[in-house]
Structure 1
Amino acid sequence: MTRQQQTRTDVPEIQDIPSIIRPYGDTTGDAMVQTSFTLPVPAGKRAELAALALARQMGLDPASVVHVKPMGPDFTFFIVYGKVNHLIDYAGIEVPEGREYPLLPAKEIELAIRTVLNRRLVVVGACIGTDAHTVGIDAILNVKGFAGEKGLEYHREIQVVNMGAQVTVEELVARAKADNADAVLVSQVVTQKNAHIHNTKQMAAAFHDAYPTAVGPGMGRPLLIVGGPRFDTVTEDELGVDRIFGKGTTPGEVASYLVHALLPSWTPEESA
């Protein structure tokens, strides 16, 4: 079987999928969905009726409470199953374009930094605020990497400073200045009360205040990159950063972006 035939077999073409679709529950097109939530009331019959009332306001009709669990004396967790009347225009959904930069092999990343900078590219990374989840930042920075790719520490031409968890914004700015950072990578996993958004905005504002000149190697402010699983509701402009990376990002994507953003004068042809 040819590569082209495999692609047609493994990935359905858009024309093979109905244009208008509904959720799938028990049978195709039955529009059944399942949702969960917690109400600030004690468990009981009144609480279940309140859950059903909320479900109907959410557009589930008919709806059934299929699971109830007290969460202490004053809260109750519910799972509700019901039918929605909404339709999805699948064919009309616009898919964002792919990345605007190529994924580069490690050798080209090394060559680009060595050719343009003639020094090591400095990256400072941290989890800021009260966030103590270092798995994400470690996956990008540490040599062990993620998804079969080595982290940024693997690159001889990249100097990595991993500050770890619960770093204050003031500490991050001071370290970036002390090490003449070209890029700052911040990981945010904790999302309660939108802590990840508030922390990132605070961090970005501090860097913009501390560096009055434009971003660029030796020119001023370091490139500001933030990553985490719950940044899909905001844009870079809203946060004041240069790039947002979501879940599943690999070290190679980040390294390639650093070359794209910080070394725009370099092109892969230079490696010839």
Structure 2
Amino acid sequence: MKTIVRPYGDTTGDGMTQVSFTLPIPHDKLAEGAALQLAAKMGLEPAMLVHAKQIGDGFTFFVVYGSVRHLVELDKVQVVQRDFDLLSAKEVNTIVKQRLRRKLSVVGACIGTDAHTVGIDAILNLKGIAGEKGLEYYRELKVLNMGAQVTVPELVAAARSEKADAVLVSQVVTQRDAHLHNTREMSAAFREAFPAGKRPLLIVGGPRFDEMMTQELGVDRIFGRGTTPREVASYLVHRVAREGR
């Protein structure tokens, strides 16, 4: 396997890269020159301006295309690899029934001021996403979807009432790192409310999370863009049923 690679555009290894950005200036020749200057400082050389359009009053959106000299060292890339088996719904139900001898309890919500429920609904609701049924489809899982704009105290209370094995939190709003602040507040509240070893699994998901930040945010798992209900269900079985957490 190759350990060093370069971006590919027209020919193998030519380093061609396309990027887009917005500058807070109206669209004119000066703006186009500014976009090319920025592209050069980013390492695109030579850079070509392939698209420029004013968006609103005093803002211009650009797409630039150019070659970079940077190399990607694959052996230094750090990612969170899936460390559990991807199971079918039947396998999940069977393992939960055999190992727990009760239903696995899951509570999900969007916390803080976040009102974007598409992500949490895709994982929890019966209809699911991308051809996969949500966790409500799994007969051995008991699911409570609290919806949007749930406060942390409300989430803690629901987890206690439902005797939750796992708490799933979706965060889409990321202005001023709101998703990070909310997650830290949530994890701190659960550690204060539950004794060691009795706390439910804390799982967060959203398009802007860094999956490497579990320890920093005080959660057990972070799922990013493209996560499916099957992945979440398989992880829950891996942690709760198989490990006896």
TM-score range, shorter chain: 0.7 to 0.9
In the alignment, which residue of structure 2 is the partner of 1:247?
A: 225
Structure 1: runs of 5+ lacking an equivalent: 1-13, 215-219, 267-272
Shift of 1:125: 0.5
1:119-158 CA-to-partner distances (Å, cap 9, x unmatched) read 3221100122232222221222122223333222122222
Residues 79, 211 of structure 2: 8 Å contact kept: no
Secondary structure of the corresponding residue to residue 238 of structure 1: helix
User: Within 1, Cα distance between the matches of 2:235 and 2:11?
Assistant: 44
Shift of 1:37: 1.1
In the alignment, which residue of structure 1 is the partner of 2:215?
A: 237
> 5 Å matches for 1:211-230?
211-214=194-197, 220-230=198-208
Percent identity for Structure 1 against Structure 2 = 64
1:65-121 CA-to-partner distances (Å, cap 9, x unmatched) read 33222233332222222222222345x455757422223333443333333433322
The reply to whether residue 181 of structure 1 matches residue 159 of structure 2 is no
Secondary structure of the corresponding residue to residue 263 of structure 1: helix
User: Within 2, Cα distance between the matches of 1:39 and 1:158?
Assistant: 48
User: Within 2, Cα distance between the matches of 1:154 and 1:106?
Assistant: 8
Q: Name which of 108, 116, 123 aligns with 1:133.
A: 116
User: Within 1, Cα distance between the matches of 2:17 and 2:235?
Assistant: 39
Shift of 1:212: 3.2
Shift of 1:26: 3.1
TM-score (norm 1): 0.79
User: Within 1, Cα distance between the matches of 2:166 and 2:206?
Assistant: 17
User: Within 1, Cα distance between the matches of 2:172 and 2:97?
Assistant: 33
User: Within 1, Cα distance between the matches of 2:127 and 2:78?
Assistant: 33
Given residue 254 of structure 1, which amino acid in structure 2 is its aligned partner? V
Q: Cα–Cα, structure 1 residues 181 and 51, in superposed 2: closer, same or farther, change >3 Å?
A: same
Given residue 142 of structure 2, which amino acid in structure 1 is its aligned partner? Q
Larger Rg: 1
In the alignment, which residue of structure 2 is the partner of 1:121?
A: 104
User: Within 2, Cα distance between the matches of 1:40 and 1:234?
Assistant: 32
In the alignment, which residue of structure 1 is the partner of 2:19?
A: 35
User: Within 2, Cα distance between the matches of 1:233 and 1:258?
Assistant: 17
Shift of 1:233: 5.9
User: Within 2, Cα distance between the matches of 1:71 and 1:117?
Assistant: 55
In the alignment, which residue of structure 2 is the partner of 1:151?
A: 134
User: Within 2, Cα distance between the matches of 1:77 and 1:183?
Assistant: 42
Given residue 55 of structure 1, which amino acid in structure 2 is its aligned partner? A
Q: Cα–Cα, structure 1 residues 245 and 51, in superposed 2: closer, same or farther, change >3 Å?
A: same
Shift of 1:46: 2.7
> 5 Å matches for 1:1-272?
14=1, 20-89=4-73, 92=75, 98-214=81-197, 220-232=198-210, 234-264=212-242
User: Within 2, Cα distance between the matches of 1:233 and 1:146?
Assistant: 21
Shift of 1:237: 0.5
Given residue 102 of structure 2, which amino acid in structure 1 is its aligned partner? R
Shift of 1:202: 1.9
Residues 168, 202 of structure 2: 8 Å contact kept: yes
User: Within 2, Cα distance between the matches of 1:46 and 1:265?
Assistant: 61
